[in-house]
Amino acid sequence: MNSISWIEATHAYEVKGVGDQNGCIAVQAVLQEHGLCGYTRWSPPYWQFIFQTHLDERQVRRLLGTLLDRYQVQLRSSRATKH
C-alpha cells in the first residue's frame, strides 16, 4: 500500500522519460513507495506521468539514481493538488 494516504503531498512533479514501457514502470516502482503516480501517458518512445509526494526534488533525484540517465528522466515541479 502506498504511504501517500497518511502523508500530505506537498510537491507534485511532471515526470518525463524516454524508452520502452518498462522504463516508465521501473521509475514508477521506485517512486510509488513515496507518493502517488498517476495520469500516465505513453507515446512511444516517450512517456510521462504525474507524481505527488512529500519529497523535494533533491530527494526524488536521489531515489531515482541511475534511472535518471538510463531513461533520460526529466522532472518539472508543479503545484500539489489538495483533496
Model pLDDT for residues 13-45, shown as the tens digit of each residue: 999 999 989 999 999 999 999 999 999 999 999
Model pLDDT for residues 58-83, shown as the tens digit of each residue: 999 999 999 999 999 999 998 655 55
**Beta sheet of 11-18, edge-to-edge order:** 35-43, 46-53, 11-18, 74-78
Structural domains of the chain, ranges and CATH numbers in brackets:
9-78 (3.30.70.600)
Distance CA 68, CA 62 (A): 9
Distance CA 17, CA 37 (A): 14
pTM: 0.84
